[in-house]
Structure 1
């Protein structure tokens, strides 16, 4: 294939190219993210209060969650978030490609249902569908974010809710990072398995809409909104009107 034809193929059908590349990526390639312990990390102190509020609101709005309190955590890491949610009465199943993270989680929290796995596998075929899918600080690490979004969508029941977090990027924050000389630290170029995608509300909205999500709402947390540390997206998998609620 000539260079021009190859470039044209990427422009016309990026998803087909992505699928082919992802199919050749084994779990070992992305399994090396390191963990030193199985405790919550500092950023969880910023994220979890809003996560708990969102889950409480969902439970009050959706009577099915009163009896079906299952959550799938895509990117469960060391299991600390799953444990925090289980202490609130949620039944959490989770996967993470980090063999070290899952080993720590299984030793520290043996009652939790956590396994090695990634968004590039048929997770819904293995684990089924859930009323809530949680994926915190994951999408910035993904080689193939469209496959990650498709996995989140497939794991949700129709009418289910995805709760997603990632570092926030926007004009004023980007400007502040540039003018204060913090870009090198922020972009973590020397961090193996670190951040390789840097999302704004606009780009993450496009990604989620492409996957089929609707009713996407963003919350910015940590510091003032224009320079927030993180953003949390709450999105709905629509119900097929032919199937009903």
Structure 2
């Protein structure tokens, strides 16, 4: 993401949810049910499919993505969405304000400058609000299985995937990133398959009121 190096040519051919949303959205919805936010910011909204799902369930959502193709697909399929071209490297809180929840699904593994990304998430989240971030899960057993199956550099982190996954995040490294940005009460939820070989993890974090 961003104006220097970003996912502006990330390919979107439609506005449908991806396969990862099958296991991400149920947990995200459960978290949102508990938090009951008035306003949500979707950082890296892609083709708008998740935004549309949330809006249809009564949430007020604003979203940005650096992919012109993704935003075009979102506007074509869901003309009622509040979507814009934008990057985690932009001063988004100055442009759009702050939100009860900053949501960013399967994005952080694509960014070149994760600390800038985390600062943007923190600034978008109003005091007393929360961040919800997901990324592919990586831990010892899963990494070992990927290596034994010879999948590194093929399905996982292929060098031929333009703007694909460039960072590997474990629960400890992602929690460290969010703590550095100023978040508190960080919790990790593993989703998809058994926890030790989960497909993704959803991390929730609180921005404590000053």
Q: TM-score, normalised by structure 2?
A: 0.97
Q: Any unmatched runs of 5+ in structure 2? A: none
State whether residues 6 and 111 of structure 2, in contact with CA within 8 Å, keep that contact through their aligned partners in structure 1.
Answer: no
- Cα deviations by residue, 1:88-124 (Å, 9 ceiling, x for unpaired): 1001100000000000001111111000000100100
Kindly tell me: are residues 76 and 27 of structure 1, through their superposed partners in 2, closer, same or farther at Cα, counting changes over 3 Å? farther
* Alignment partner of 2:68 out of 95, 99, 102: 99
Report the secondary structure of 2:146's partner residue: helix
- Cα deviations by residue, 1:29-48 (Å, 9 ceiling, x for unpaired): 54111101101111101100
Counterpart of 2:103? 134
Counterpart of 2:188? 218
State whether residues 102 and 115 of structure 1, in contact with CA within 8 Å, keep that contact through their aligned partners in structure 2.
Answer: yes
**Which aligned pairs between 1:20-169 and structure 2 lie closer than 5 A?**
26=3, 30-59=7-36, 65=37, 69-169=38-138
Q: Which runs of 4+ in 1 moved over 6 A?
A: none
Specify the structure having the higher radius of gyration (Cα).
Answer: 1
Higher relative contact order (CA 8 A, sep 6+): 2
Report the secondary structure of 1:183's partner residue: coil
* Aligned: 1:179 with 2:148: yes
Q: CA deviation at 1:49?
A: 0.1
Q: CA deviation at 1:26?
A: 2.5
- Cα deviations by residue, 1:200-234 (Å, 9 ceiling, x for unpaired): 00110110000000000000000100000000000
Q: CA RMSD in A?
A: 1.3
Q: Any unmatched runs of 5+ in structure 1? A: 1-21, 60-64, 241-245
